[in-house]
Structure 1
Amino acid sequence: MNGQIELVTNAKAALGEGPHWDQVEGRLYWVDIDGRELRAYDPAAGTEDIHYFDQRVGAAVPD
Structure 2
Amino acid sequence: MTIHELKLKFLQIRDYLTDDVNELLDFTKKEYVQNKISIIEYRDLVRELEKLGAKFPDIFINNSLIH
- Structure with the greater relative contact order (CA < 8 A, sep ≥ 6): 1 or 2? 2
TM-score normalized by structure 2? 0.21
Q: Write 1 or 2 for the structure with the bigger share of helix.
A: 2
Q: Write 1 or 2 for the structure with the bigger share of strand.
A: 1
TM-score normalized by structure 1? 0.22
